[in-house]
Amino acid sequence: MKSFLDEKVDRYNNITFIENDPISIPHLFSGREDREIMGFFAAMLAWGQRKTIISKCRELVQRFGGEPLRFIREHGEDDLKGLLGFTHRTFNDTDLLYFVDFLHRHYASYATLEDAFLDRGVFHSMEDSLIRFEQTFFDDPAAPHRTRKHVATPLRNSACKRINMFMRWMVRSDDRGVDFGIWKRIPQNALICPIDLHVDRTARRLGLITRKQTDWKTALELTENLRLLDPFDPVKYDFALFGLSLESGR
């Protein structure tokens, strides 16, 4: 299985993968903070058709004036009015305004979004990081209750697909040009494999998942099995599992 999946990783983990994937959005930028910000939004909006996701993210870039970090740090009331009316599925402008508010507060104190996933700069585990991030994100009495559904946490036994995907983008480092590898305090062998419908279907077919439901424990089970194939970079197989599903759907 390892040689088979390694071949699929090699096929899909390259720059041709970028164009039709939400990761194309942070690739529009060269600055670390712009990549973090738009990577976060692209991952959080990543449900539904990829073409629509990319289109909505490009709309968001335009609403940010093409400068996400500058907007986050320097926006005024008139700038925020320009965000009104933005929607993607159940994500609306109420959610967007809170996301912007959190990022504004965060970048006023930290140079990188990575710190929101760490315990005073220290990494413990991916489960700890995702729980810590969700709690930090909503540590404001003004946080809209409706927005909580858009940021997953292992405490709710979610598979945390979108946030795990964002972590892959920021943490994984290789020479293939897809993932960014711009966060250095979180080890890539601690990453948890994102499970979307494509990955779930293929992993089950290959016997990498045995749990009936798809939840946080399922994400851990899949990742532990992938670590048997590559203990140093298990999440690289996300490319293989996703790509195999696309192949079988042709």
pLDDT in tens, 232-241: 999 999 999 9
153: helix, coil or strand? coil
Q: What is the mean pLDDT of residues 75-98?
A: 98
> In which element (H, E) is residue 9 found?
helix 2-12
Give 249's pLDDT tier (boundaries 50, 70, 90): low
DSSP of 61-123, one letter per residue?
A: HHHTTT-HHHHHHH--HHHHHTTTT--BTTB-HHHHHHHHHHHHHHHTT-S-GGGGGSBTTB-
pLDDT recorded at residue 227 = 98
Tokens 């870039």 correspond to: 61
Q: What is the mean pLDDT of residues 79-86?
A: 98
- Whole-structure pTM value: 0.97
What average pLDDT score do residues 153-178 get? 98
Name the packing angle between helices 126-137 and 161-171 (round to 10°): 110
Residue 250 has pLDDT above 90, yes or no: no
CA distance 135 to 148: 10
